[in-house]
Structure 1
C-alpha cells in the first residue's frame, strides 16, 4: 500500500496541461476547417457569398484568439492543482480579463451568422426579416454594453486581475449572472426561430426533426 506522503505527491504531480493544449489545437483546427469548407462549398456551387458567410468568417479570428488565450493559460498553471502554484500570481486573471472580451464577441458574430442564414434560406417568410433584425440589434447592443462593463468592472482597471491593488470592483457573482442570462436567452431565441420555419417546410416529419436538430447542433 502506498504511503500517504506518496499519494499526496502523486496527487500534486497530476498535470493535464498537455491535454488542454491538444484540446485547443483540435478545436481551432475544426473551426478553421469548417469555415474553409463552407467557403469552398459556396464557391464550387457558384452560390456566391452572403452576410452569413462573412459573419462566420469574422468570428473565426476572434475564436482562434480565444483558443490561443486558453492554450496559453497553461503558462499560468492551468491544468495543475492550485496548491502547487505560486501565491499572488496574477497572470491567469490578467489573461482571463482579455479572453472574456474576445469570447463574447465570437459568440455574437456566430449568432449574427445564423440570423443572416435564416434570412437567406427562408427569405419567403416576410415576418422573418423584422424578427431577425430586431434580435440582431439587441444582441449587438448587449455586446457593446457587456464589453464596456467587463472593461471597466474595476477601478482602477488593474484591480480586475490584481487584488493587491487598492480600489473597488463590481460584484463578481452579479456580473456573471448579468453576462450569462442574456447569453443563454439570446441562444435560445436564435435557435427557436428555426423551429417554426422548418416546420412550415413541406418535408416529412422525421426530416423536419432532423433539420431542427442540425440547427440546434450548429448553435451549441
Structure 2
C-alpha cells in the first residue's frame, strides 16, 4: 500500500480478519435464535457489529491518512490532524462498543441464570457497574478537551485532561469488570445437567471468555507504552489490542449458542443413520419400517434337480403388517402369494 507503513498494513489485515470472524460468529448466533427467540441481548450484539465495522474503518484511516507506524516528525500537518481525529473517534467507538457488549453478555446471563435469585442480584449489580462505566467514560472522552476541536488541533487555545492517565484508568477498570462478568456462570454451571457435547462447547465458551478478559488486561498494559512525544510511531500495539479485545468478546458472546446448533447436527446425523438402517435382512426375512407400520416378509425357496434339470420354487410369501387405526388401536394385516421362478 502506497504511503502506508508496515505497521499500518499489518493493522489493517489483523483488524479486518478479526472483524470478519466476529461477524460470521454473530450471524450464526442470529440464525440459531431467529425464530421468535431474539432478545435485547441479540439487538445489542447487532448494534455492536455496526460499531466494530466503523472501528475497522477508523483503523484504516489511521493507517492510511494518520501515518500509523511512521515517526511523527515526518508527518504533514494534515496527517497529524487525521492522527488525532483517529485517536478521538475510535476512543468513543471503543468505549461505546465495550459497554454495549458487557450489557449484551449480562442480558444473556440474565435469561439463562435469572431463575437463581442470588445470581440475578449479582447480574443486576454488574449491569449497574457496566452502565456507569459506559456513561462516565463516554462523557469524559467526548469532553476531554475544551473546546472539543482542540483534540485534533492541539494549537487551539484551551485545555485537555491527562489523556494517557485517563486511558490507563479506563483500561484497568474495564478489565476488572470483565473478570467479574466472567465469574457469573461459575456457580450455576456446576449445577447444570448437560450432555457431554454441550459441556464441551460450554467449557470452550468460558475458555474463550477468559481470553477476552486477558486481551483487556493486555490492552491495559500496552496503553502505558504509548510515547506522547511520538504517538504515530508508538501507537501500533495499543491500537491493535483496542481492536482485538471487542472482536474476541463478540466471539465469546456467541459461542455458548453454538452448542444447540452442533447438537442438532449430531442428532440429525444419528436420525439419518437410523433411517438408513430401517431396512435390513436377517435369516431370509426382510423387515421394513414405514410411516405407522412395520412389515415382515418371509420367503422360502425349495431347490431340486430331476433328470439333470434344476428347478427352483418359491413357496408362499407371508406378509404381516402392523398398523394403527384412527382411534389408536393396533391392527394386523396379512397377505400371501405364490410365485414360480
**Cα shift at 1:93:** 1.1
Structure 2, unaligned runs of 5 or more: 213-341
2:6 counterpart residue number: 15
Contact 2:182 2:209 in 1 (8 A): no
* Aligned equivalent of 2:60, options 71, 82, 85: 71
TM-score, normalised on structure 1? Answer: 0.81
**1:68–1:212: structure 2 CA closer, same or farther, 3 Å change rule?**
same
**Structure number with higher helix proportion:** 1
Query: Is the aligned partner of 1:177 residue 2:168?
Result: yes
CA contact (8 A) 2:99 2:133 kept: no
Q: 1:106 aligns with which of 97, 108, 111?
A: 97
- Output the CA distance in 1 between the equivalents of 2:9 and 2:164: 31
Q: Does 1:124 align with 2:115?
A: yes
Q: Could you tell me whether the CA contact under 8 Å between 1:14 and 1:81 is conserved in 2?
A: no
Contact persistence 1:191–1:216 (CA under 8 A): no
What is the distance in 2 between the residues matched to 1:104 and 1:16? 24
What is the TM-score normalised by the length of structure 2? 0.54
The answer to whether the aligner puts 1:137 opposite 2:134 as a matched pair is: no
Cα offset, 1:216, TM superposition: 4.1
Segments of 5+ residues of structure 1 without an aligned counterpart are 1-12
Match 2:37 to one of 45, 48, 53? 48
Q: Deviations over 1:81-137 (max 9, x none)?
A: 445433682211112111111111111111112111112222331222222122112
Aligned pairs, number: 206
Structure 1 range deviating more: 163-172 or 99-108: 163-172
Which one of the candidate residues 71, 76, 98 is aligned to 1:86?
76
Q: Per-residue CA shift, 1:29-77, capped at 9, x if unaligned?
A: 112211111111123xx46112221221121101111111011111211
